[in-house]
Amino acid sequence: MASLIHAAKGVTTPARLAPQKIHSIVVAPLSGESPKGGWSAEIKPADSVHALIAVHTQDGLTGYGSVFADGRLVQAAVDVLEPLFAGEDALQPERVTEKLHQNTFWMGRGGSLTHAISGIDIALWDILGQTVGLPISQLLGGSYRSRVQPYCSLLMEEPAKMRDTLAVYSERDGFRAFKIGWGPFGRALDTRLDEAIIRAARDAVGEDSKLFVDAGACDAHWPHGLKWAMRTADMLAGYGVDWFEEPLRPDSIDDYCHLRRVSRVPIAGGEVLTRRQTFLPWLSRGAFDIVQPDVTKVGGLSEQRRIAWMADDFDVRYVGHGWNTGVGVAADLQMAAAFPHVDYVEFIGGSAYVDGILSEPFVIDAQGYLAIPDRPGLGVALDRDKIARYSPNAAALFSV
């Protein structure tokens, strides 16, 4: 009866999209110019900490994703997942990736499998967007903005070098927001060095630029606790720092809740958490002012958007953790367009895997903003020759 009524009113029922069955998933670990992370066990250029993923369909479509993990782990995870995704419809990203999560619980939730699923999920959304001719932001519910401010993410240095480094990215590249982190901050015996670094940074970027500070307390054997974080937050407030990130060990939820209540500086964190369920106690208990899930390891766009909306319900700001690749930045930009209160995206300063793998690199405009791609899917194109410099498996990303 309903179909007859629609027909009588001249309503045409759209044809259902033909399935795009997954033919294969290719992993391309990136190495050769891996950026330093400031970690205790420092990253070497030849180390793999990021991998690209290509999902190929039987009809010749390809979508791309990014994973924040050693490429060897990503490849092993894809091999384990293959019986679950083979022949699945690439146009159903949430259903397919939830299937991968639900059927691998017994191998560990939130680890390398979840990281790999993140890249697969991003690639599936990319395929869906290409198929329907829309950017992912619109598929996620709509676009609130066409551009967003990137903050240049840099390692901390000794004060003089910190000042010089920040001046380069401000004057040459046009950034108007900066995050400095890790390095010697909180790790030197002389705690006066922490304030000297912040003073130098503020001098370099000026009073009109945004400045964020990342202690990196998820690093191995972080030496400080709540009292250090409270004293340091007070110091940072004096320099107009806009948020204090990862000031405590990543499992110290009680301390985070207390710090947030007493700190004059907003408290940010969450980059080491994965899966939406893990974020719920942190949000419901008020541990963060700003939550920072990472789309390349949290479970992909499908999981990231649920966390972002959940954060909004608890009046917590969402700013994605984006220490990743050009593909990861593209996913972050689509997320930034799809939510009402997103001010920033993270952008690693000087990373070859961000600046050096796209056919058209990102360009910061005169106001210090990035345009959000409005082409179908992720809206960016990879450059085969550029990627070949960093991955022996580059060719397989582009051919079924």
Give yes or no for residue 60 having a pLDDT over 50: yes
Nearest-angstrom CA–CA distance, 123 and 74? 14
Q: Tell me which residues are annotated as active site.
A: 321
Q: How far apart are CA 43 and CA 40, in angstroms?
A: 9
**pLDDT above 50 (res 249):** yes
- Name the helix (H) or strand (E) containing 333: helix 326-337
Q: Which domains, ranges and CATH numbers included, belong to the chain?
A: 22-134+385-397 (3.30.390.10), 138-382 (3.20.20.120)
Confidence of residue 2 (pLDDT cuts 50, 70, 90): very low
Give me the pLDDT at residue 9, please.
56
How far apart, in whole angstroms, are the C-alpha atoms of residue 289 and residue 398?
41
pLDDT in the model for residue 281:
98
Q: How far apart are CA 140 and CA 125, in angstroms?
A: 9
| pLDDT above 70 (res 7) | no
**Which tokens hold the place of 72?**
């060897």
Among 37, 54, 131, CA closest to 91: 131
pLDDT digits (tens, 9 = 90+) for 291-308: 999 999 999 999 999 999
Which DSSP state fits 373?
P
Mean pLDDT of 365-394: 97
Task: List Cα–Cα distances, 240 to 199, 209, 236, in angstroms.
Answer: 10, 10, 7
Q: Using one digit for the tens of pLDDT, what is the confidence trace for 252-305?
A: 999 999 999 999 999 999 999 999 999 999 999 999 999 999 999 999 999 999
Q: What is the mean pLDDT of residues 168-187?
A: 94
- Considering only CA atoms, which of 349, 17, 15 is closest in space to residue 174? 349
Q: Provide the pLDDT confidence category of residue 33 given band limits of 50, 70 and 90.
A: very high
Please check whether residue 222 is in contact with residue 272, taking contact to mean a CB–CB distance below 8 angstroms. no
Identify which of 65, 3, 49 has the alpha carbon closest to the alpha carbon of residue 296: 65
The answer to whether the beta carbons of residues 77 and 113 sit under 8 Å apart is yes
Do residues 346 and 318 lie in contact, with contact meaning Cβ atoms separated by under 8 Å? no
Angle between helices 112-132 and 326-337 (to 10 degrees): 70
Is the per-residue pLDDT at 5 higher than 50? no
Contact 296, 309 (CB under 8 A): no
- Chain mean pLDDT for the chain: 94
What is the chain's Cα-based Rg? Answer: 21
Distance CA 373, CA 153 (A): 21
pLDDT, residue 17, reads 86
- Please give the residue that has the higher pLDDT: either 386 or 191: 386
d(CA 388, CA 394): 5
Looking at residue 1, its pLDDT comes to 42
Determine what percent of the chain is predicted with pLDDT higher than 90.
Answer: 92
The pLDDT, as a whole number, for residue 172 is 87
Task: Reply yes or no on whether the pLDDT at 47 is more than 60.
Answer: yes
Average pLDDT value for residue range 91-118: 96
**Tokens read off for 159:** 């004060």
Encode pLDDT of 332-362 as tens digits: 999 999 999 999 999 999 999 999 999 999 9
User: CB neighbours of 220 closer than 8 A, spacing ≥ 6?
Assistant: 39, 40, 41
